[in-house]
Structure formats: C-alpha cells, structure tokens
C-alpha cells in the first residue's frame, strides 16, 4: 500500500492530518528503510497517537504500542515493552526464554529484545515498530531513559522506535543528532471548524433542517472565535460546548418568539444579538468542567439567561466547635502577630478608643495590602522573575511599623478556592502560619459565647486538639512546617506525619466568613479592611 493510499483511507475519519499521516506512512512503510528512532510531538488532543495507530494498522506493519501513562515505574515500562513485543509475535508462551519475563534495566532490554526479534518466525521477519506513547510523562523515569530508548533502534537494526511526546522537545534532547521529528500542530481555526462541521449537525425537534444548515456553520464559527480560540481549547471541548449551547442559542426559534424588526424569520445575526447574554454568562462556565454538571441551568436556561452563573455553594455543616476553631485559625492566619494586643486584648475591648484604634489598623492594613497587591500585579505584568525574589517585595510604606509585620510573612497558601486571591477584602492578605498557642488564645478572644465564669471552667485546649485533628484530616487547617507553596501544603497525604510547630489555614476567606456568621462571629471585625 502506498503512503498516499494510507492517507486517503485515514483522512476520512481523521481529517486535516494528511501531511503527518503521509510522513508517518513513508517513514514506517514495511518495504522502505526506516530511521532507527522517530519523534512524534504535539500538544494534547492533536491526534498523535490515533494517527500513529491508524497508519501502523493500515500498513499492517508488525508493531507494539506501550502506553507510558499506564506504567508506574521505569521498570514497569521496560517489562511492558518486552511483554508487548512478545505479544506482537504471539510468543507469550515462551516468556521464560526471555529473561523470565523480567527486565529491570535498559541494557537487559536491549539483549532481550534482540533475542526476541531474532527468534521470531521467519514469515514475521522484517521491520518491527515499537511505539512508546506519552513517553515524556513516564513516572519515576531515570534521566537517561529517553536517550537510552532512542538508541534501541540503532543497536537492533530491525527495530524502529517511535516516541510520542506531548511536550515540545528541546534541541538534542535525545543526545543524538538528526532524529526525524514529526510535528502535530494544534488545529487552526479553519481546520477546527471544518472538523466540527464534517460531523453530522445536531438535530433538535421543532427546528427545520434547512435553517439548521443555514445557521449552524455561523454558530460554530462564533463559538470558536469567542470561546475556543482565545482559550486554546481542543476539538473535544469545542464539540461539547457547541452541543451544549446550540439548543439555547436557537431557543427563540423553538419557543416561537417573533423576531425583532418586523422580520418573519430569525437569521443568525438576530439570534446572536438576542443571545448576547448567553455568551457572556454561560460561555465561560461552559468552558469549565465540573464533576457534577449543573443540569438545572440546562432545563430552564433559556428562560433566564441573566441568572447568576452558579448558585452559591452550599456550606458544609461543620459542628459548632469546629467552626469556631476554624474561624480562629483563619483569623490567626490573617492578622499580623504584632497587632494581637490591639485586636484581641480583652482589657480595653469595649472602650471607644480601642475600637477606633482597631478600625485604624484595619484601614492601614488594607491600604498596605492593596499597595502590595498592585505591586505584585505590576511585577507579574513586567514578566521579570518576581517569584525568584520571593513573594515579599518592598512596598513604599516600609517605614511604618506595620510593614515589618508583613516582612515576616513567608506566604504559604492563600485562598485556594478563590481564583486569583485578590477578589474580596478578606482574601487580600496571604495566610501566614501561626503557632498553636496563638490559635488557642485567639479562640478565647473571639468566642461568641464565653463561659460565664472563666476561672472555674476548665481549659478547652484539649478539646481543641481533638477537633483540630479532624480539621487537619479535612485539610482545612494544615501544618505549615517546611517551606512549600502551592496546593498540598500539607506535604504528603499522610495524616499521621509529625506536626510542625506552625499551622496554617487552607481555605478561602469568604467561605469562612459565611460559616462564622452562622455561629455569630463577625470575621470582618478582626481583619484588615474587614468592616469597611
């Protein structure tokens, strides 16, 4: 079979990949000599693996495909390579001859593969293609694994190794010159739209077919321009968004509304004008995948496109005591330690001057943090390596005593749930770690139902520890030992790890604010810019 024929048979099913299919077909053709190693690369959802598989099966070239993402360790990968090769030759029964099915190192693999290829039956002699899919995502791979695998083809003449990468390879990453690369670029606008229009159009009841065929191409193009193009979406997400939004887009027709401007028929432009809010409100949420798809919107979506995107999230029901502890942890994380006496001291808490002082400090903190946030944004925009200098950079108000309180911040996690973290007043500051004793003290300060006789009631510290352990399991409060940022600041998933001295709250502020209101604590009273 000639490469052109291969391409023809493939392009019906997988359009717009003709060039790559042709290259592959000529390089892997059983009758033609192949390069020992071949690199196929391209971002995800560009049809790499599918085309490689398709070409190989159409050519009927003997091959084995190993999905690297299914191999847990490097050793696992090597064993799998050997096993799949044996399988390709129907030699599984003779596994004991080839290292007893065990293969722990690449050098062993070379020997075993060589034996294996030599031992295959005469009618299957010839070129053998080994495809390693997603090899750049291999877990626990040794640093030399890739280049070693690339040499396999050089050592074993009848072997051709195809490496499929989803990242763009660096120059000479295989330590080997002149390895042919085949690039799978992302689909262009035209290609994407063509692919989508090639599949059958959605059929909706009550929609005349000819108007579908008239409006749908425009609709698809609009979706691409508004949602997919700017977000570098894949064909898959493109298709699912089109499927989801199409019924809503044409709902004016379905519901028999009369088109504006005295026309008798809806055309694309009128629908678009009518549906502008749809793109504004629903479009973005359509891009985000959720575990539980919100069906409620789909049911009566067209009725009220102005409804807020997502219903306010249901609050978890933590018990009273745990909520209070979580709140104090949050407050402890977000108040500079120096201001503790001002914010939490009970001696002057009710006097007017104390309240004024607190309000003053809240405003100060707010101004300061806004300046800080602005500066960070600026740095991010400038694109210099702001992160290398550490989160903390100098603000203009350094002379103030307050800023030195910030200087100690090591900026662990900030609001995880919130998007950028600079949305509401309560998430302005990054969460700082605090010692447990401080949490206990703040707990006593913000307790909305303080014991009537604090001298006689016993200490609550012991109960707090028990609840804190539960909160830790839920990763609402995590120990902040060591330095690390990002998501899992609890280190490993192990909950029995020894606790560091300092702890840190691990949820966003709005959420805790809501929870705390439920038990009668106003978080804003203790926070920077909280009540303003």
- List interacting residues with other proteins (CB under 8 A): 67, 69-70, 72-73, 75-76, 79, 83, 92-93, 95-96, 100-102, 139, 240, 288-293, 313-322, 416-417, 435, 437, 440-441, 444, 458-463, 465-467, 470, 473-476, 487-488, 490, 492-496, 501, 507, 511
Q: Which residues of 79-89 are buried (b: 16+ CB within 10 A; e: fewer)?
A: bbbbbbbbebb
State the Cα angle at 251 between 250 and 256, rounded to 5°. Answer: 110
Q: State both tokens at 185.
A: 């670029």
From residue 151, how far is each of 6, 63, 91, 160, 215 by CA, in Å?
A: 28, 18, 24, 10, 54
| Minimum CB distance to other proteins smaller for 14 or for 321 | 321
Asked if 520 and 448 count as a contact pair (C-beta separation under 8 A), the reply is yes
| Minimum CB distance to other proteins smaller for 32 or for 420 | 420
What is the number of other CB atoms lying within 10 angstroms of the CB of residue 410?
Answer: 15
| Minimum CB distance to other proteins smaller for 350 or for 494 | 494
Q: State both tokens at 357.
A: 């002082």
Asked if 284 and 309 count as a contact pair (C-beta separation under 8 A), the reply is yes
| Minimum CB distance to other proteins smaller for 13 or for 496 | 496
Give the count of alpha carbons within 13 A of 522, CB side only: 7
CB of 19 to other proteins, least distance (A): 28
| Minimum CB distance to other proteins smaller for 5 or for 140 | 140
| Minimum CB distance to other proteins smaller for 275 or for 413 | 413
Q: DSSP for 414-480?
A: --SSSSSS-SSGGGSSPP--EEHHHHHHHHHHH-SS--S-TTTSPP-HHHHHHHHHHHHHTTSEEE-
Q: State both tokens at 505.
A: 């709250």
What is the number of other CB atoms lying within 10 angstroms of the CB of residue 528?
Answer: 25
CB of 424 to other proteins, least distance (A): 15
CB of 261 to other proteins, least distance (A): 39
C-alpha span between 471 and 319 (Å, rounded): 11
| Minimum CB distance to other proteins smaller for 102 or for 280 | 102
C-alpha span between 39 and 57 (Å, rounded): 19
Q: Which of 427, 441, 403, 405 is nearest to 511 (CA)?
A: 427
CB of 164 to other proteins, least distance (A): 14
| Minimum CB distance to other proteins smaller for 147 or for 234 | 234
| Minimum CB distance to other proteins smaller for 124 or for 465 | 465
CB of 421 to other proteins, least distance (A): 12
| Minimum CB distance to other proteins smaller for 111 or for 474 | 474
| Minimum CB distance to other proteins smaller for 225 or for 437 | 437
| Minimum CB distance to other proteins smaller for 303 or for 483 | 483
N residues, the chain: 532
CB of 245 to other proteins, least distance (A): 16
Nearest 5°: phi and psi at 528?
-65, 125
C-alpha span between 405 and 365 (Å, rounded): 10
Asked if 342 and 360 count as a contact pair (C-beta separation under 8 A), the reply is no
CB of 133 to other proteins, least distance (A): 10
Q: Which of 468, 428, 463, 451 is nearest to 327 (CA)?
A: 468
CB of 101 to other proteins, least distance (A): 2
CB of 174 to other proteins, least distance (A): 25
C-alpha span between 73 and 81 (Å, rounded): 12
CB of 309 to other proteins, least distance (A): 13
Strand pairing category for 477-479 and 502-505: antiparallel
CB of 502 to other proteins, least distance (A): 11
From residue 496, how far is each of 434, 435, 464, 499, 506 by CA, in Å?
A: 20, 19, 18, 8, 18
Q: State both tokens at 397.
A: 């108000």
CB of 285 to other proteins, least distance (A): 13
């Amino acid at each position: 079979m000639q490469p052109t024929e291969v391409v023809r048979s493939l392009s019906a099913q997988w359009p717009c990949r003709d060039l790559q299919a042709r290259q592959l077909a000529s390089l892997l053709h059983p009758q033609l000599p192949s390069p020992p190693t071949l690199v196929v690369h391209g971002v995800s959802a560009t049809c790499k693996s599918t085309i490689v598989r398709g070409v190989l099966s159409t050519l009927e070239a003997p091959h084995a495909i190993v999905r690297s993402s299914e191999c847990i360790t490097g050793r696992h990968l090597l064993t799998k390579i050997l096993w799949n090769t044996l399988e390709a030759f129907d030699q599984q029964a003779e596994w004991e001859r080839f290292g007893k099915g065990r293969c722990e190192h690449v050098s062993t693999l070379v020997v075993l593969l060589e034996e294996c290829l030599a031992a295959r039956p005469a009618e299957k002699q010839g070129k053998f293609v080994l495809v390693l899919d997603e090899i750049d995502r291999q877990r626990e791979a040794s640093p030399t694994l890739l280049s070693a695998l690339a040499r396999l083809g050089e050592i074993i003449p009848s072997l051709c190794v195809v490496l499929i990468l989803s990242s763009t390879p660096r120059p000479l990453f295989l330590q080997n010159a002149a390895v042919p690369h085949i690039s799978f670029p992302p689909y262009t606008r035209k290609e994407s739209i063509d692919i989508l229009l090639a599949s059958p159009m959605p059929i909706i009841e009550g929609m005349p077919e000819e108007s579908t065929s008239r409006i749908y191409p425009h609709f698809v193009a609009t979706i691409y321009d508004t949602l997919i193009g700017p977000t570098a979406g894949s064909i898959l997400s493109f298709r699912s968004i089109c499927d989801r939004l199409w019924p809503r887009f044409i709902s004016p027709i379905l519901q028999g509304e009369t088109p504006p401007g005295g026309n008798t028929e809806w055309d694309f432009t009128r629908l678009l004008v009518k549906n502008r809010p749809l793109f504004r409100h629903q479009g973005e949420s359509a891009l985000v995948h959720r575990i539980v798809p919100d069906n409620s919107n789909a049911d009566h979506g067209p009725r009220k496109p102005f409804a807020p995107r997502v219903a306010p999230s249901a609050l978890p029901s933590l018990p009273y005591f745990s909520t209070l502890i979580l709140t104090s942890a949050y407050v402890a994380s977000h108040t500079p330690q120096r201001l503790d006496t001002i914010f939490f001291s009970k001696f002057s808490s009710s006097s007017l001057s104390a309240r004024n002082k607190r309000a003053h400090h809240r405003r100060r903190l707010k101004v300061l943090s806004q300046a800080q946030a602005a500066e960070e944004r600026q740095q991010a925009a400038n694109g210099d390596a702001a992160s290398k200098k550490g989160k903390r950079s100098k603000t203009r108000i350094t002379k103030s005593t307050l800023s030195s309180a910030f200087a100690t911040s090591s900026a662990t996690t900030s609001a995880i749930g919130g998007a950028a973290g600079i949305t509401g007043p309560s998430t302005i500051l990054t969460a700082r770690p605090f010692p447990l004793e401080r949490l206990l003290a703040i707990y006593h300060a913000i307790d909305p139902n303080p014991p009537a006789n604090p001298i006689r009631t016993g200490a609550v510290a012991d109960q707090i520890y028990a609840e804190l352990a539960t909160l830790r399991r839920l990763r609402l409060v995590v120990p902040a030992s060591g330095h690390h940022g990002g998501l899992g600041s609890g280190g490993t998933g192990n909950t029995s790890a020894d606790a560091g001295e300092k702890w840190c709250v691990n949820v966003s502020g709005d959420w805790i604010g809501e929870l705390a209101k439920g038990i009668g604590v106003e978080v804003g009273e203790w926070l920077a810019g909280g009540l303003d």
